[in-house]
Chains A and B, each alone.
Chain A
Amino acid sequence: MCRLRTLLVTVAVGVAALSSSASSQEDTTGNRPPPGVRLGLSYGPGVKPGVIIFPIDETPGDSIRAILQRDLDYSDRINVIALNDSSLRALVPASGKLINFPLVAKFGAALLIRARPTATGVHVTAYDISAGKVFETADFALPARSRNRNWRFAVHGISDEIEKWILGKRGIAQSRIAYVSGGTLRLIDSDGAESRAVTVGRGALSPAWSPTGRSIVFSILGNTGTQIAQLDLATGRTRRIARTPPGLNITPVFHPAGSSVVFAHGFGEGADLVLADPDSGGLRRLTVGRGSDNTSPTFSPDGRQISFTSGRSGRPQVYIMDADGTNLQLLTEYDLGVRSYRTSPDWSPDGRAIAYQQQNGDFQIWKVDLRDRIPRQLTSEGENEDPSWAPDGRHLVFASTRGGTKQLWVLDTESGRFRQLTHDSGARLAAWSPMLGAADTTRTSQ
């Protein structure tokens, strides 16, 4: 029901935007090419290219169209022009007739997507409206014509490929978010569909993806304290990370090379970050907290640095150090006597920024650009915690009470647009996966 409401809102926004975009982009059909960047398509700087997706015939067609529209909309880089039935009927050419490109351009579209199901999947053609010709075309394989999880995931791959056609960079639709709800580890697709539990029992905490996206490492409450476990997503099997010592073991994270895991281990008083070395099977301490709590590690994309939370100055702050434990630097500046604190850092996949939560009365999400080191507040409504970057380094998923109960929300850090991801109460500790696959594509012609 909520999803339907979201879709209706999206459609309403699209229709509302239609009149303005249709008039504002009318020039694109004129004789003079508009100023701007050309990456195959022409569009003005700061303007999201408009895309119309024609209805798709045959049984799964409507589902494919709905998923594509939603994915492109959620990318926040493309303006999906949702037309009503009568407008669509006017645009879709009769059999054997040509597309009326000037008419399509009147609706503000820079690109038109036309797809038809084939025996093995779907054939997609993209038309450049201003040039009035085919821009890209490809065949995409789909697992089966049933609307199961894998099928939907393959359709997400088509969305990402279309985004690459338009903007030169794949989208993030074909990714998932791991999170904890009621002590159980769950997964959900990037568009908020296919939420499911992947562990049984309770006590799961702080999931983190492997660089390949094939497994998830997390901490789980057991008989000897909290242990670090690894879930193989293909087999569904969970195993303990070798030689995790008894006691407190929390906030694990994979090294970007996937070769080792770093997590916080309790040493009597306080906790230090340790590296689980796969070669020796032993643990190597990385921080010297001297009784303070050092937790929530996150690696820089090149694996050379770690950002983490440390209480060494009395209140938790975010620090950066080299991956060998040296060259410690305070990342989030503070003034003496100020009681606010900062935790849960997450390094963006492009390496440029670190997002974190700041407590100053309530919890809010902030980010600091590593080049200028200036903190910027990203949220202000409700309590907002535990940010995790999407693979595009632009979107963030986080737990928020802005909707009443604690849910996962997604923020586009460039436009400031929020959307609700989960609808089961108590969702928290989200971790966005890396890109989980490339569409099975056969490019037929151009």
Chain B
Amino acid sequence: MNKFFRCGSLAALLSGCYASNADLLKVQSEVSELREVRASGISADSARRLQLNDISRSLRALTDSISALNSRINALRSTSETEVSALRQDITQLQDLGGQSEQRLRDMKATIEETARQPETVAEPGRTTAAPAPRPGPAQLLQVGREQLLRGSNAAARTAFADLMSRYPESEFAPEALFYTAQAFAAEGKPAAADSSYASLVTRFPSSRRIPTALYKRALHLASAGRRTESRRLLQDLVRRFPRSDEAALAEERLQSTR
């Protein structure tokens, strides 16, 4: 009985050894295949890694380029802003100097008019008579009116301006006379009369440089009188017609605050 068991076990062991060798070969071939696959996988990974590196390098280069471009744009913007600011200052200087020249020109015209209206002395045998003095010119009337306005003689100033407008309605100084008439009324505490003059200025002299101011002042007057819709309409009109004026900037803020 014991012999039988020993022989059986040996047979079983030998048969088992034969199976393992075949399997081993099979496994070896599979491993070899796997190695090949892995080797090809590794090379693919390397390629991908290389690609990624390339992409990364490209991205860095792109980022650098963008940064450089950004810096250039900022520098350009800064330069432009500085230049725009300088340009704006130059324009303001020119406006200031233009205003000064305009004032001097007005004074000069007034002086010329004053000289021209000096009465001529007519010499006749036996007696000397003075010819009637010519009327003052528009520049002179404007100057007189402005001087009265600065002295606080508002009624006298208005008389001079009214004189100018009635005698020289086509004069270049007529819009100024109307503007200062409104200012004189305002100084006298007559806002309705001032508003009427500003309205007249807007209607009669639509190309006057005083129009944005007149429109803005009219809008303020209407707002203080409780006529808010009309006031808003005027402000909108001002912003639309004179978008670059200071008054337009003020009007926009008023429109926003009363929305």
Contacts and interface: CB of A to CB of B under 8 A. Distances in A.
Interface of A: 282, 284-288, 290-292, 302, 304, 312-314, 317, 322, 324-330, 333-334, 336, 351, 370-371
A290 B88 contact: yes
B187 A288 contact: no
Best-surrounded residue of B92, B152, B217, B247 (most CB of chain A within 10 A): B92
A325 B250 contact: yes
B255 interface: no
Contacts of A317: 96
Interface in B87-120: 88-90, 92-93, 96-97, 99-100
A313 B92 contact: yes
B239 to A, nearest CB: 13
A282 B89 CA distance: 30
Contacts of A324: 216-217, 220
Contacts of B61: none
A313 B96 contact: yes
B64 interface: no
Contact of B217 (A284, A326, A328): A326
A325 B246 contact: yes
Contacts of A292: 89
- 6 closest Cβ pairs, A-B complex: A314-B89, A288-B246, A313-B92, A326-B213, A288-B249, A313-B93
Nearest to A302: B187
Contact of B253 (A285, A312, A328): A285
A207 to B, nearest CB: 29
Contact residues of B: prevailing secondary structure: helix
Contacts of B86: 314
Q: Is the interface of A mostly helix, strand, loop or mixed?
A: loop
Contacts of B99: 329-330
Contacts of A327: 183, 213
A336 B97 contact: yes
A176 B257 CA distance: 40
A237 to B, nearest CB: 31
Contacts of A312: 88-89, 92
A324 B99 CA distance: 21
Contact of B89 (A302, A304, A313, A334): A313
A286 B216 CA distance: 12
6 contacts: A291-B85, A313-B92, A313-B96, A322-B217, A324-B217, A336-B97
Which of A282, A290, A370 is packed against the most chain B CB atoms within 10 Å? A290
B45 interface: no
Contact of A370 (B100, B150, B186): B150
Contacts of A351: 152
Contact of A304 (B186, B213, B216): B186
B172 interface: no
Contacts, number: 60
Nearest to B147: A371
B85 A326 contact: no
B123 to A, nearest CB: 37
A366 B220 CA distance: 35
A417 to B, nearest CB: 28
Contacts of B259: none
Contacts of B90: 314
A314 B93 contact: yes
B150 A371 contact: yes
Contacts of A325: 246-247, 250
B3 interface: no
B100 A333 contact: yes
Interface in B136-165: 147, 150-152
Contacts of A285: 250, 253
Kindly name the residue among A313, A322, A333 whose own CB sees the greatest number of chain B CB atoms within 10 A.
A313
B98 to A, nearest CB: 10
Interface string B68-98: 0000000000000000011011101100110
Given A288-B250, A329-B99, A336 B213 contact: no
A336 B99 CA distance: 13
A333 B147 CA distance: 18
A324 B89 CA distance: 23
Given A302-B187, A304-B186, A336-B97, A328 B246 contact: yes
A282 B213 contact: no
A351 B96 CA distance: 23
A304 B97 CA distance: 25
Contacts of B257: 282, 284
Contacts of A314: 86, 89-90, 92-93
Interface in B191-245: 212-213, 216-217, 220
A381 to B, nearest CB: 30
B185 to A, nearest CB: 12
A335 B246 CA distance: 24
A363 B52 CA distance: 68
Nearest to A330: B96
Contacts of B220: 324
A302 B147 CA distance: 17
Q: Which of A287, A328, A330, A371 has the most CB of B within 10 A?
A: A330
Contacts of B213: 326-327
A285 B97 CA distance: 26
B227 to A, nearest CB: 17
B88 A371 contact: no
A262 to B, nearest CB: 14
Contacts of B151: 371
Nearest to A325: B250
Contacts of B152: 351
Nearest to B254: A284
- Taking each of B93, B217, B220, which has the highest tally of chain A beta carbons within 10 Å of its own beta carbon? B93
A86 B77 CA distance: 82
Contacts of A371: 147, 150-151
B208 to A, nearest CB: 13
B89 A326 contact: no
A433 B93 CA distance: 35
B181 to A, nearest CB: 14
Nearest to A370: B150
Nearest to A312: B92
A343 to B, nearest CB: 16
Nearest to B99: A330
Given A314-B93, A327-B183, 11 more contacts: A284-B253, A288-B246, A312-B89, A313-B92, A314-B86, A314-B90, A317-B96, A322-B217, A329-B99, A330-B100, A336-B97
